[in-house]
Amino acid sequence: MIVTVAAFKGGVGKSTTALHLAAYLQTQADTLLVDGDLNRSALDWTNRGRLSFKVADQKQGVELAKLYEHIVIDTPTKPDAKELKTLARGCDLLIIPCTPDAIALAATLKMVDTLPRHKVNYRILLTIIPPTPNNAGEEARNALRNAGLAVFKSGIRRLAVFQRAALEGVPVNAVKDSYAQIAWRCYAEAGKEIMG
């Protein structure tokens, strides 16, 4: 399966999502993470040699793709309309991470409008969801569903362990932190939805 992670807004958890879904998919079958992000964050992580899955840049990714059962592609901020069509057609599932705030929601609506919708299998993943009693996550989910958009049932909670993991260069399940398993489960549940 080829999964591409893209969004019209930066800082919504694209790279975090791509890394954790690659880590989850690797528990099922050999997985390659293609780091198309210009800051090369995931490549920096793999350089520290602690990831369970293979990471490559886009050029290497093209050569390596056939060797892997699953491929997760991380993309830089805001593809233009043409790039979006190309990357959407080149994958089995387009994941659009979206934080539960007005700006990210507007960017997500715009992005889905830009997609050749009937030809593209996309799903929106709510990320960095603040804890209760804040109900921004539920409100965002309802707004997206009411607009007829495809949304993951599971969402990703806002947890400091994700930032710790990024600093240490590993997925959250490799961090010693009392929230590590709770954080990991968010992405494991999303991964299960992908695998159907």
Ligand X SMILES: Nc1ncnc2c1ncn2[C@@H]1O[C@H](COP(=O)(O)OP(=O)(O)O)[C@@H](O)[C@H]1O
Binding mask 29-48 for ligand X (x = CB under 6 A): --------------------
Which of the ranges 10-18, 54-62, 100-108, 110-118 carries the binding residues for ligand X, by CB under 6 A? 10-18
Please state, in angstroms and rounded to a whole number, the distance separating the CA atoms of residues 137 and 130.
Answer: 7
Check binding of 16 to ligand X (CB under 6 A). Answer: yes
Whichever of 162 and 184 has its CB closer to ligand X, that residue is 162
Q: Which span (79-87, 105-113, 141-149, 151-159) binds ligand X, by CB under 6 A? A: 151-159
Q: How many CA atoms lie within 13 A of 196 on its CB side?
A: 3
Site for Mg ion in 20-59 (CB under 5 A): 37
**DSSP 8-state secondary structure symbol assigned to residue 157:** B
Judged by beta carbon, residue 15 or residue 46, the one nearer ligand X is: 15
Q: Beta strand 54-57 with 31-35: parallel, antiparallel or unpaired?
A: parallel
Closest CB to Mg ion among residues 18, 194: 18
How many chain residues interact with ligand X (CB under 6 A)? 15
Residue matched to tokens 């975090």: 16
CA distance 5 to 188: 16
C-beta of 66 vs 158, nearer to ligand X: 158
The verdict on 75 binding ligand X (CB under 6 A) reads no
Give the separation between CA 158 and CA 161, rounded to whole angstroms. 9
Query: In the block, which residue shows the tokens 């409100």?
Result: 139
